[in-house]
Amino acid sequence: MKKRKQAGNRPDFMKVHQLLTQSLGEADKLHQSSPLAHCRTSLEILVATMLTQATSDRNALTAWHRFQKAYPRLELAVEAGADALAEVIRPAGMAAQRSRAILAVLNKVREDFGDYSLDNLADDPERAWQYLTALPGVGPKTAACTMLFGFHHPFFPVDVHIERIVKRMGWVQPKMPPAEIQAVIGPMIPAHIVADLHILLLNLGRKYCRPTRPDCAHCPLSGECPGAEFA
């Protein structure tokens, strides 16, 4: 077996973006499989992201479409209650747990802002981040998705796929936790490609850089990856 060349100390994110786009397609099109692409407000982005935790985009998207059909306004989900909401979002899995978490967030937002809206946070990234990460059931990845896709601030969400890729690529230390990866990698990425790169890397992890038996031979980043091997 022969190894590819090692990646440099500072990743060339523009090159990575180009290679992934050429192989996987445009990020906007790939994003259509995510419920986050079918939201109207930042609070909807937050709720939809909560549905994506520990499940597939397919299941989360099905649950989100059911949610939107049942509750065209977010307050209707609160009025319906936890049991009814759990039935609606059941395709995402862990329905009872997710239902309680979503209602806790919606009630907290209504209590704090007098409405089911996060618009008051839109122009203050620091305040928005502090608020989101203090909400019940909202971790750094969910908060970062809301910052990026809800408020359009260049935060870089790190899920299990992206965590695996950046560690295999040698961009971060092997034991670095996801929240720290977000803080380290995010500022290094040109702001105008942060959203695209998140989507592209996520899809790379699903198609090629899998947890087991990664397809290094066909991976578009094999030439940049210090761990990739080929015959």
How far is the C-alpha of 49 from the C-alpha of 34, rounded, in Å?
Answer: 9
DSSP one-letter string for 38-55: G-SSHHHHHHHHHHHTTS
How far is the C-alpha of 169 from the C-alpha of 51, rounded, in Å?
Answer: 29
Region 94-122 average pLDDT: 98
How far is the C-alpha of 125 from the C-alpha of 2, rounded, in Å?
Answer: 46
**Residue bearing the bigger pLDDT, 37 or 4:** 37
Q: What does the domain layout of the chain look like in residue ranges?
A: 2-32+155-230, 35-150
Region 210-217 average pLDDT: 95
Confidence of residue 9 (pLDDT cuts 50, 70, 90): low
Hey, what amino acid is at 63?
A
How far is the C-alpha of 225 from the C-alpha of 165, rounded, in Å?
Answer: 9
**pLDDT exceeds 90 at position 99:** yes
SS3 3: strand
pLDDT score recorded for residue 229: 62
The pLDDT tens digits for 169-201 are 999 999 999 999 999 999 999 999 999 999 999
Region 110-125 average pLDDT: 97
144 alpha carbon, distance to own chain's centre? 7
pLDDT score recorded for residue 37: 98
The pLDDT tens digits for 65-94 are 999 999 999 999 999 999 999 999 999 999
pLDDT score recorded for residue 10: 81
**CATH number for domain 2-32+155-230, candidates 1.20.950.20, 2.60.40.180, 3.40.1160.10, 1.10.1670.10:** 1.10.1670.10
Q: Which helix (H) or strand (E) holds 229?
A: strand 229-230
- CATH class, 35-150 region: mainly alpha
| Mean pLDDT of the residues in the chain | 94
Q: What is the DSSP letter of 138?
A: -
